[in-house]
Amino acid sequence: MTREMPVALAARDIWKSYGTLEVLKGVSLEAHEGDVISVLGASGSGKSTLLRCINMLEVPDRGEVTVDGEPIRLRLHRGRREPADRRQVDRIRAKLGMVFQGFNLWSHLTVLGNVIEGPVHVQRRPRGECIAEAEALLEKVGIAAKRHHYPAHLSGGQQQRAAIARALAMNPKAILFDEPTSALDPELVGEVLRVMRALAEEGRTMLVVTHEIGFARHVSNRLLFMHRGEVAAAGTPEELFGGVAPEQFRQFIAGYHQR
């Protein structure tokens, strides 16, 4: 289904080290529009770093990232690689939504304030329009009643749903999820996964780093399994869970089931 869709984002041959520690060793991925790609792997496998390289919160030492057909230009400056054009990076980031493990809502703004901040100040859209859209989004994720509250007064699950609404408000081409449920109490995980599933069914392009095997298996249409900085397995959930998977992947899944 998704093979014919245009490429929303792509990362080619990404290498990244911190000092002597090699975190990513030549990783590539390609997301077509409508793809929901889950990235699995043990801690330290490099999955979060890969995600953060896509919107340049980390800059890869080698390799190229392309978003919506536009490659992000990098240059060498004092021995370090950095974005060549700050404005291009900002523009591209505005096209990508990101949902963090720690929610990262702005604590001095209300929930509504958080959601309209990007549209009003980065996209420069009229405030009235942004508020109307924000309220619809908050309704959609199920926390419209909390819109005038401050993040500190919300539960973890509510905060994360607000963060998702904030990402959606920018009308992104693709949404990046960095372990969105890892910091939540178990009983709050479900409400966030439900929202994410609804987004997937809408046809949103999503790149999800997660430990939720159920989501990976039933909601995503492609999986990436990372091990020690490399892609150790890639394919559809049917393929990887059906028995064609490499040993490392099966051990990883088995480890999870034993908990």
- Using CB under 8 A, list all residues that contact another protein: 55, 57, 86-87, 90-98, 100, 102-108, 117-118, 121-122, 150, 152-153, 163, 166-167, 170, 176
| Shortest distance in whole angstroms from residue 128 CB to another protein | 19
| Shortest distance in whole angstroms from residue 105 CB to another protein | 7
Tokens of 153: 């007064």
How open is the CA angle 136-169-48, to the nearest 5 degrees? Answer: 130
Tokens of 5: 């869709």
**Tokens 């700050």 appear where?**
86
Q: Which is nearer to another protein, 168 or 232 (by Cβ)?
A: 168
Q: Which is nearer to another protein, 75 or 121 (by Cβ)?
A: 121
Please, where are the H alpha helices in the chain?
Answer: 47-54, 86-95, 111-117, 127-141, 156-168, 186-202, 213-218, 237-242, 247-257
d(CA 165, CA 128): 17
Q: Which is nearer to another protein, 95 or 197 (by Cβ)?
A: 95
Q: Which is nearer to another protein, 5 or 109 (by Cβ)?
A: 109
* Among 249, 182, 175, 242, CA closest to 212: 182
| Shortest distance in whole angstroms from residue 237 CB to another protein | 28
| Shortest distance in whole angstroms from residue 144 CB to another protein | 20
| Shortest distance in whole angstroms from residue 114 CB to another protein | 9
Q: Are 195 and 142 in contact (CB under 8 A)?
A: yes
Q: Which is nearer to another protein, 72 or 253 (by Cβ)?
A: 72
